[in-house]
Amino acid sequence: MSSIVEIDNNENDSSKILKSDFVKGLKLGLPIALGYVPVSFTFGLLAVRGGMSVWLAVLISLTNFTSAGQFAGTNLIIAGAPIYEIGLATFIINIRYTLMSLSLSQKIDSKMPIFHKLLWGFGVTDETFSVASMEDGRISAKYLYGLIILPYLGWFTGTLLGALTCKALSPMLQNAMGIALYAMFIALVIPSCRKSIAAAFVCGIAVLISTGFKYVPFLSNISSGWVIIISAIAACTIGALVFPRKEDML
């Protein structure tokens, strides 16, 4: 299975394009969905272990559909933190989505009606964003719905199974599965870095900065949500200055 299907520029029949867009999205969404199951499974398990009911854990996954934010928020709920603190922590972790959606706003069909954006916008995650933004050319609402639906179902199913499971998977297997989504990130970014020095450069700068945040004593207190935002903004600024895109490349 190839990670990113090239857009077929020779398609002329527009209805055919739209239909195949949805199917194309579905195909790309499948590996994301499978990657989500162990993560959401862990979420369901931890939430119920922490004293939450099964249906509340599932409700969180259905309404939030995000990993880091809902893990943090749920921990705070279980710890009895005040609502404003729960909201603020979750918000900070999720600000990175603004950057992703802003990038996507320039990537989607320019005439897309706003209600579509408000609907599929709910399904912007680190993974769906990454896959969508690696496409060549503009992307349609159908493509995005196809891309999002399976990961959403995977997130729901994993949470439900985790919440209902009394015994955990063997801890070693859980550990091993922890790397799945990161491995997918690598599989998404490395092929692009091979093709484009500029992309590799920007990615490398971002890695350097986020590593700095982790290991420089004073900076290591900053939450991972902020680290991603600051690293990305700095790396993209440097990238846009050093390797500005030419008009016909954009």
Partner 1 sequence: MTRALIAIFVMAVVTYLPRIFPLALVQKDIKSNFIKSFLYYVPYAVLGAMTFPFILYSTGNMLSALVGMLVAIVLSFFNKGLMKVAMASIVAVYIVELIMKGQF
State the Cα–Cα distance between residues 113 and 128, nearest whole angstrom. Answer: 20
**Number of residues forming the site for partner 1 (CB under 8 A):** 103
The answer to whether 195 and 174 are in contact (CB under 8 A) is: no
Output the smallest distance, CB 151 to partner 1, in A: 12
Residue from 16, 19, 49, 214 touching partner 1 (CB under 8 A): that is: 214
Shorter beta-carbon distance to partner 1: residue 22 or 181: 181
Amino acid at 164: L
Please, which of residues 134-163 interact with partner 1 by CB under 8 A? Answer: 134
Residue whose entry in the numeric block shows the structure tokens 């070693």: 172
State the Cα–Cα distance between residues 46 and 225, nearest whole angstrom. Answer: 21
Output the smallest distance, CB 15 to partner 1, in A: 25
Residue from 9, 12, 14, 114 touching partner 1 (CB under 8 A): that is: 114
Shorter beta-carbon distance to partner 1: residue 18 or 56: 56
Report if residue 169 touches partner 1, rule: CB under 8 A: no
Output the smallest distance, CB 26 to partner 1, in A: 14
Output the smallest distance, CB 247 to partner 1, in A: 7
Stretch that binds partner 1, among 6-14, 16-24, 148-156, 165-173 (CB under 8 A): 165-173
Output the smallest distance, CB 250 to partner 1, in A: 5
- At a CB cut-off of 8 Å and minimum separation 6, what does 44 contact? 54, 57, 58, 61, 158, 159, 160, 161, 162, 163, 164, 165
Token representation of residue 194: 């091979």
Report if residue 218 touches partner 1, rule: CB under 8 A: no
Report if residue 197 touches partner 1, rule: CB under 8 A: no
- At a CB cut-off of 8 Å and minimum separation 6, what does 101 contact? 121, 124, 129
Coil vs helix vs strand at 9: coil
